[in-house]
Amino acid sequence: MTEPLIEMSAAGLESSVPVTAVDEFGTRRQQHIAAERALTLYIDKREVVTLMTLGTHPELLVLGWLRNQRLIDRPDRIRSIQVDWETDSVAVTTHEGIDNLDSRLAHKTVTSGCGQGTVFGNLMEALERVELPLPRVAQSRIYALLENLNTHNQIYRRAGAVHGCALCHDTEVLHFVEDVGRHNAVDTLAGLMWLEELGGEDLCFYTTGRLTSEMVMKVAQMGIPLLLSRSGLTQMGLDLARRLGVTLIARAKGRHFLVYHGAENITFDAPPTDVAAARRAV
């Protein structure tokens, strides 16, 4: 039997917890709310950061976080990822340590991600070396993908208070992850891509959250050239997409979307009647 690349615990928890609420008529109702758990990350016994998460895929979340922070450049540098919910901690053990870890942790930016995402170090130098392919996607295929995405968001429908992210190929949703912050969901998918040795060149990344600079940076690091959101975007997110060559589509819902960067990569093939209907729906 082949030994696993990384020794990992399997400590995923339920995504929601039952509670009692009182409605506007004074009636007690049983409801579910999204779980939110603190998970403190230790790298080779050094405390690094505390992540707020649903806790459904903690090992993948940590692996993807390490990847997107550029603290680890290859998964085979990690010996183990062990989550212990009794201490609300996760221990990452590397084979040979991380070079210049102290200096890389010294520069910290708190991002606009839900639950306050954190970016360590100067990632832009590494991002400037990223070369993304030019995607080609048809308007009709975007419509079909959005329709397929409607079958997901299970945790949101049950408990609310979460964001969802997905890896998509053409109109197919390959993987869908929800968490209390969109930055956690994207990190979880980044970890999954590493474990499955999945390249991003022919993928689309979908998120229910807004397209901030953090989202654009992480998707570019994952090698994905197309970023699609149900929500809006920020000025810095747009500026980074232009610099890094990420095709940016926002306000995508039903049969409506807005291309903020990379419109030349979209084939507008929907019949005029569909276009008119989409505009009326806005």
Tell me the CATH number at 144.
Answer: 3.40.140.10
More confident residue, 153 or 88: 88
**In a domain? residue 1:** no
**CA-CA distance, 25 to 134, in Å (whole number)?**
55
Q: Which domain holds residue 51?
A: 7-122
- The enclosing domain of 94 has a CATH number of 3.10.20.10
Residues 151 and 47 in one domain: no
| Residue 101 pLDDT level (bands cut at 50, 70, 90) | confident
Residues 73 and 152 in one domain: no
**CA-CA distance, 109 to 112, in Å (whole number)?**
10
Residues 169 and 273 in one domain: yes
pLDDT at residue number 1:
46
DSSP element (H, E) containing 247: strand 247-253
Mean of the per-residue pLDDT values of the chain: 87
| Residue 156 pLDDT level (bands cut at 50, 70, 90) | low
Residues 141 and 263 in one domain: yes
| Residue 181 pLDDT level (bands cut at 50, 70, 90) | confident
Say whether pLDDT at 117 is over 70.
no
Q: Residue 213: which of 242, 233, 236, 187 has the closest Cα?
A: 236
Residues 107 and 191 in one domain: no
Residues 141 and 118 in one domain: no
pLDDT at residue number 243:
92
How many independent structural domains does the chain possess?
2
Q: Which residue has tokens 């807004």?
A: 210
> Average pLDDT of 80-89?
98
Q: In the numeric block, which tokens belong to residue 224? A: 């994905």
**Is 236 within 8 Å of 212 (Cβ atoms)?**
yes
Last residue of a domain, one of 90, 122, 154: 122
**In a domain? residue 208:** yes
Q: Which residue has tokens 């959005």?
A: 146
Residues 253 and 174 in one domain: yes
Q: Is beta strand 247-253 parallel, antiparallel or unpaired with respect to 226-229?
A: parallel
> Average pLDDT of 214-237?
94
Over the stretch 29-81, which tens digit does the pLDDT of each residue have? 998 888 899 999 999 999 999 999 999 999 999 999 999 988 999 999 999 99
More confident residue, 128 or 173: 173
**Is 67 within 8 Å of 81 (Cβ atoms)?**
no
- Exposure string over 232-268, b if 16+ CB within 10 A, otherwise e: ebbeebbebbeebbbbbbbebbebbbebbbbeebbee
**In a domain? residue 195:** yes
Residues 117 and 142 in one domain: no
Residue type, 167: L
**In a domain? residue 127:** no
> Average pLDDT of 162-169?
92
**In a domain? residue 129:** no
Residues 273 and 213 in one domain: yes
**CA-CA distance, 41 to 205, in Å (whole number)?**
26
Residues 95 and 189 in one domain: no
More confident residue, 201 or 99: 201
Over the stretch 185-225, which tens digit does the pLDDT of each residue have? 999 999 999 999 999 999 999 999 999 998 999 999 999 99
Residue type, 220: A
Last residue of a domain, one of 122, 154, 181: 122
In the DSSP assignment, the letter for residue 25 is T
**Is 80 within 8 Å of 7 (Cβ atoms)?**
yes
Last residue of a domain, one of 58, 88, 122: 122
pLDDT at residue number 158:
64
Cross-strand bridge partners of residue 37 = 53
Residues 160 and 118 in one domain: no
Residues 105 and 43 in one domain: yes
| Residue 152 pLDDT level (bands cut at 50, 70, 90) | confident
**In a domain? residue 109:** yes
**CA-CA distance, 145 to 226, in Å (whole number)?**
13
- Specify the pTM: 0.86
**In a domain? residue 192:** yes
Say whether pLDDT at 155 is over 80.
no
Q: Is beta strand 108-110 parallel, antiparallel or unpaired with respect to 118-120?
A: antiparallel
**In a domain? residue 128:** no
**CA-CA distance, 176 to 184, in Å (whole number)?**
12
